[in-house]
Structure 1
Amino acid sequence: MKNTITNGNTKLILLHPYIQKQANPNRLWLIALVSVFAVASLLTLVYTRESFHITTTSATATHITNTINNSQETLPKSVMKALVHYAANANSTNHMSQTDIKQILDVLKQCISPCNFLVFGLTPETLLWNALNHYGRTVFIDENRYYAAYMEEKYPEIEAYDVQYTTKISELKELVTSVREQSQNECRPVQNLLFSDCKIGLNDLPNQLYELSWDVILVDGPRGYWPEGPGSISAIFTAGVLARSKKGGNHKTHVFVHNYNREVERVSSEEFLCQENLVKSSKDLIAHFVVERVMDEQSKKQFCQNHPTTTSS
């Protein structure tokens, strides 16, 4: 309904409210719907941003915490000491080559923790071996009791014992012959060395060491570069017997012999670790043997299936 009021030349048109109400109901509903949708979208956006912020913050905090924890686990003090020590002496001529170290490291990484690692000889790599086997047990055997005591005092994390060697490199041929003659008696491939009377067997180590199942053995001592030196014949013989007499754990023992290019190491390894057990002999100075625990009676009476026919004097 429309009313017109004339006032001079001006006309004023008034629309009745009833007509406005009837003319725009759909538009009002549309406006209301859009408003509700806009408010809902705004609230959703605010909530999502808050949730995302909280989630991201929490994830970042967790990541940082894990990183710190992992750093603490993978870089304990003993590892840092070893790295510093090894870096400081990197130019030493007595160091083992990186290729040889990697061979041993690869085996240690595959070892089921805790790994029992026996090392003959305190060398420039001592702290490194102990650090690389951080979650296992690493034991060092050396002929110098003063140096063993010094290392334990300076590095409390090192477990070292001294032992008396009675062999001489100049007697290599005679020693090998005597072991062959007693391979079914005192110098058996499978025995408890603690009670052994074999001349080249080490029977004066701490009793507990004979009870452990050694997963990895490294022969890098004793000294053996002059005729009257003890050489490694006793260490290699002992490693062979410990591997074959293993009581528990994995039935295989990885035995590494350093300075394999020298006669006493090569001949002793051929006799007591055996060529059929040789996995790899690198162009550097290390040989890798895998010796299995002996179960059958025949193998308990001899070290190798085929002994070398000659032994260098």
Structure 2
Amino acid sequence: MKTPTPPQQQQQQQLILFHHPKQPHSRLFILFFLSFFTFAFLFTLLSTSAPSQTQAAAASSNPIPAALSSALLHYASSNSTLSPPHLSLPELSSFLSSLLPCSPSCNLLVFGITHESLLFSSLNHAGLSVFLDESEPLSTRLERDSPPGTRLEAYDLSYTTRVSHLPRLLRIAREESSGECRPVQDLLFSECPVAINDLPNHLYHVPWDVILIDGPRGYDDDSPGRMSAVFTAAVLARSKGSGDRPTQVMVHECEREVERVSSEEFLCAENLVEKVGSLARFSVPPAEAGSWAFCRQRGNETASLEEEDDGEE
């Protein structure tokens, strides 16, 4: 009969086995096994949660565009105190929703260069993005810093209007609504004082999908004001072909008098889609054949403006 091994001796034998000379190799094997198991588990989890093999293959063959990755790096490294967002998150969401029907290859025109300009062009990374600004250095820098392959153009623009000119310009626009200030025309040859007719020629013939008006300055009487930008955007939208979809025109700081009155006069209350914060979004369709009016019915507030020249020529 075999004598049982005392419990203490068993524990000692187990301890000797635990400190086997090949311990480092055992630990490496265990580490490798755990790593492989973790990787396999995560891979299985991600694979089963993927919508489809087709979508997964499409994602792997379409890496993040250079413009978008550059924008992400730009905002990730920006100091939010030194470079605060110009538009709020709800306003940016409204802008994004206007891009969705044609994204990522829209024809996007933006009046004003701001902290979000790179983001705007990145969201439209396969389309044409054009920025117009009073500042030549800002325009030059934006084009210089845009990622290679991006269809981004930036131009400096000199405005001849002033905020204080609004009543006189509004009066002239109404008097010439079937002439020089008509809603359907080639602005390159326009003599309307509220029109912008000195842009690069090719921009007047682009069927713009989205136009954002966030410039020029308009915070005092001597600022250029945005009445010319609003009028020009309205004409570009109304002059598109009859089969083209409406142009989404957004006006920032729409609560100010110039922006509000100009929008009511040229973009029209019946075209207002939504107002989010200080951003008003209009869906402006091409003009109907034989139409010489911007709006079917003019707002009461616009009609009641006093027609004053304030001593300005």
Check whether TM > 0.5.
yes
SS at 1:110's partner residue?
A: coil
Equivalent position of 2:214 in the other structure: 220
- Cross-structure match for 1:147: 138
Residue in 1 aligned with 2:185?
191
Identity %: 48
Counterpart for residue 114 of structure 2: 123
SS across alignment from 1:239: helix
TM-score for the superposition, normalised by structure 1: 0.74
Aligned residue in 1 for 2:69: 80
**One-letter amino acid of the counterpart of residue 69, structure 1:** S
Gaps of at least 5 residues in structure 1 are: 1-55
Q: Which residue of 2 aligns with 1:68?
A: 60
After TM superposition, the structure 1 = structure 2 runs for residues 1-313 of structure 1, keeping only pairs within 5 Å, are 66-70=58-62, 72=63, 75-87=64-76, 88-91=78-81, 92-93=83-84, 95-111=86-102, 114-155=105-146, 157=150, 158-247=152-241, 250-282=244-276, 284-297=277-290, 299=291, 301-307=292-298, 308-311=302-305
- Looking at structure 2, the residues matched to 103 and 160 of structure 1 have their Cα atoms a distance apart, in angstroms, of 23
Q: TM-score, normalised by structure 2?
A: 0.74
Residues 219-246 of structure 1 deviation map (CA, whole Å, 9 limit, x = unaligned): 0101111210101110000000000001
What letter matches 2:175 in structure 1? E
Measured against aligned partners, the alpha-carbon deviations of 1:143-197 in whole angstroms (never above 9, x if no partner) come to 2122211221232543101221110001111111111111111111100000101
Q: Answer whether contact 1:223 1:232 (CA < 8 A) is retained.
A: yes
With 209-218 and 93-102 compared, the bigger mean Cα shift is at: 93-102
Contact kept in structure 1, 2:103 and 2:124, CA below 8 Å: no
Q: CA deviation at 1:207?
A: 0.8
Flag the structure with larger Rg. Answer: 1
- Give the whole-Å Cα distance in 1 for the aligned partners of 2:55 and 2:296: 56
SS at match of 1:184: coil
Equivalent pair of 1:86/1:124 in contact (CA under 8 Å) = no
Partner-residue secondary structure (3-state), 2:303: coil
**Aligned CA distance change for structure 1 residues 113 and 78 (closer, same or farther; 3 Å):** closer
The Cα shift of 1:206 comes to 0.9
CA-CA distance at 1:69 after TM superposition: 2.2
What letter matches 1:110 in structure 2?
A: P
How many pairs does the alignment contain?
A: 249
Q: Which residue of 2 aligns with 1:52?
A: none
Residues 111 and 214, structure 2, Cα contact 8 Å, conserved in 1: yes
Which residue does the alignment assign to 1:28? none
CA contact (8 A) 2:242 2:287 kept: no
Aligned-residue CA RMSD in angstroms?
Answer: 2.3
Q: 1:62 to 1:262 in 2, by over 3 A?
A: closer
- Give yes or no for contact 1:202–1:235 (8 Å, CA) kept in 2: yes
AA matched with 1:160: A
Distance 1:153 1:242 in 2: 27
Cα offsets for 1:247-303 (capped at 9, x unmatched):
376331110111111111111101110111111112x11001011101221x2x221
